[in-house]
Amino acid sequence: MKRSEFVSGSVVLLSLAGAANARTLAAVLTNPAGYPISAEIFTTRQHAVMPGLTPWGIDTIYPYEVTKYRAAGYGRWHYGDGLASAKRLDLMPAGYAGAQAAGGMDLNGPPAANSAKLLSFFTITDIHITDKESPAQAILLGYKGGLSSAYSPVMLYTTHVLDAAVQTINAIHKQDPFDFGISLGDASNNTQFNEVRWYVDVLDGKAIDPASGATGSTAQRVGYQQPYQAAGLDKTIPWYQALGNHDHFWMGSLPVDEYLRQTYLGDTILNLGNAFKYGTQSRGFYMGSIDGRTPYGDVIGVGLVKDFASPPRIRAADPQRRSLSRKEWMNEFFSTTSGPVGHGFGTSNVENDFASYSFEPKSGMPIKMIVLDDTQNENDRSAGGYGHGSLDKSRFDWLVTELDAGQTGGKLMIVAAHVPIGVEPAGSPVGWWSDAEVSEATLLAKLHEYPNLILWIAGHRHVNAITALKSPDPARPELGFWEVETSSLRDFPQQFRAFDIVRNSDDTISIFATDVDPAVKEGTPAAISRSYAVAAQQLFKNELVEPPTGSSNAELVEQLAPEMRAKMRNYGKPVRT
């Protein structure tokens, strides 16, 4: 059965007893219940989540007024029709229409067929596992509108959504196996140790206690704070990790200085002014937190300093909230029960504070993955935040060396990075840094020198988007490559992507990129999060590249260099029909 077809069947659930109210926290953590997903598993080629109509004719509500969502009509959704996989020929020579002949392209021949699968993998990104009770957040910037990345009620359920996505991946894998998976950065929301541990532990299938601070007994906890058993990614799927800006900057935006570091560990809510203009030493606003004792995650401690008689506090400090440096963050991926240990990072990455590496995901298949850290450095002195893409000379030189080796070795190449390239205008807060040591134009020009580079995959913008980065030489279309972005598991549409790379009968290749909604079951935390994500989209009106679903499925056709056309005929497993 192909990934483009309907996959149905019961998901195997752990046989777990529910915890009685009288149990102590320790007992519950010994044998917590898990959260099932829907028994019907499908991709957006069969059905896609459709948001309900945005309410109108009512009083405006603020994003933090979660108790009003349902009555006001926010957060409704349903499954709509599937989304076709558009065949994209943007990188092919003029006049090419997908024709074939034995031994190569023939514009007058019959249509080319997908003949052999080369590689299958999935991408997840921008999970933003969030310690909602942390005192070091930026809720002020979103609780009444503005930035949904600073606040929306989906932050109550980030581990649960990842768990539902993992179970969905496992169900698909049983029908049509993945060779590997890769997470494209922003695993954690705010550099915190407990956020990274929750993230790795969900993928490892451990018991998850999603609360922080003085949590008390489980009998006193609201639903989203209850411990649960994560399913864990199927152990036959190796998974790899890339670094994102939220993984080593405060809220993805500023280097963590001593003031921020101490705030993470304390119980007083962060006091900042216009930090993007004046730095973290400016004061004037309490940035807010979440009261994890309340059913809807009430916002607390937010507003002008002058309006508070005394500094607002969270209920308890927690040493597990400590902020991790980039080296410390990488080191956490060695504490894992899934493979490979380090999830791509080696001890040399940690020792050298260098978060880029490469690997070959499938034995005997000439395809190379280059995982590139293209986030900014802490010493960049970047006005307006540190959420841009950037390369210094050392990372650029490393990238060129890896590309040269892959090209010389006759391997098709995929670059995996957090920040996309060539899609944002100059000056964009999520685009390429204007003062980067290596400019975006220089990077693109170098990438276009490699005919074996077929794909750049990225996250960061929280959108599903596909961009053709065409060859600068019309006579050599193989110098072009595709860029495919995957949306966030935090914000609508909360999807991951499945990729299938196949060889075609005319010696071209096709990259099938398919969005997948986690198969949530009604009443579970992941289902509540979906409703909140839809409501947040309706309230914040975030840009969707492909409205109204935010999904984009495609077959991306690409021409290979002559020597690779001949070589790749020897590879691949026949495509099932």
Lowest-pLDDT range, 110-114, 321-325, 342-346, 400-404? 110-114
Average pLDDT of every residue of the chain: 91
| Type of residue numbered 10 | S
Question: Is the omega angle on the peptide bond into residue 474 within 30 degrees of 0, that is, cis?
Answer: no
Distance from C-alpha of 15 to C-alpha of 32, rounded to nearest angstrom: 10
Of 25-39, 302-316, 482-496, give the lowest mean pLDDT range.
Answer: 25-39
Interval 246-278: pLDDT, tens: 999 999 999 999 999 999 999 999 999 988 788
Beta strands 453-458 and 412-417, pairing class: parallel
- Per the structure, how many domains does the chain have? 1
Cα distances from 456 to residues 129, 295, 358, 371, 468, in angstroms, run 24, 41, 14, 10, 10
* Tokens 């996309």, located at residue: 420
Distance of CA 365 to the CA centre of its chain: 26
Closest C-alpha to 95, from 81, 109, 116: 109
Q: In this predicted model, what pLDDT tens digit does every residue of 478-536 receive, in sequence order?
A: 999 999 999 999 999 999 999 999 999 999 999 999 999 999 999 999 999 999 999 99
Residue 311 falls inside a structural domain: yes
> 200-212 pLDDT, tens per residue?
999 999 999 999 9
Domain-embedded: residue 478: yes
**Bridge partners of 7?**
41
Say if residue 568's pLDDT is above 50: yes
Number of Cβ atoms within 10 Å of the Cβ of 370 = 21
Q: Which residues pair with 119 in a beta bridge?
A: 501
pTM exceeds 0.85, yes or no: yes
The verdict on residue 2 lying in a domain is no
List of E strands, 169-246: 180-183, 207-208, 228-229, 239-241
Kind plus residue range of the DSSP H or E element containing 328: helix 326-331
Distance of alpha carbon 552 from alpha carbon 483, whole angstroms: 13
DSSP track, 85-137: -EEE-TTSPTT--SB-BTTB--TTSPBP-EEEEEEEEEEE----B--TT-SS-
Mark residue 118 as left, alpha or beta (left: phi above 0; alpha: psi -120 to 50; beta: remaining): alpha
Is residue 318, in this structure, part of any structural domain at all?
yes
Q: Is residue 202 part of a domain?
A: yes
- Three-state secondary-structure class, residue 347: helix
Q: Which domain holds residue 338?
A: 7-574
Residue 20 has a pLDDT of 33
Query: What totals of helices (H) and strands (E) does the chain contain, helices first?
Result: 12, 23
Pairing of strands 40-41, 7-8: antiparallel
pLDDT digits (tens, 9 = 90+) for 213-242: 977 778 889 999 999 999 999 999 999 999
Residue 70 per-residue DSSP state: H
Contact 120, 176 (CB under 8 A): yes
Q: Are 495 and 516 in contact (CB under 8 A)?
A: yes
In a domain, 557, yes or no: yes
In a domain, 1, yes or no: no
Whether 91 contacts 477, CB under 8 Å:
yes
For residue 141, give the 3-state DSSP assignment: helix
Give me the residue label for tokens 């979906």: 530
- Say which CATH number the domain at 117 has: 3.60.21.10
Contacts of 471 (CB under 8 A, 6+ apart): 91, 448, 477, 478, 479, 480
More confident residue, 21 or 418: 418
Q: Is 125 within the bounds of a domain? A: yes
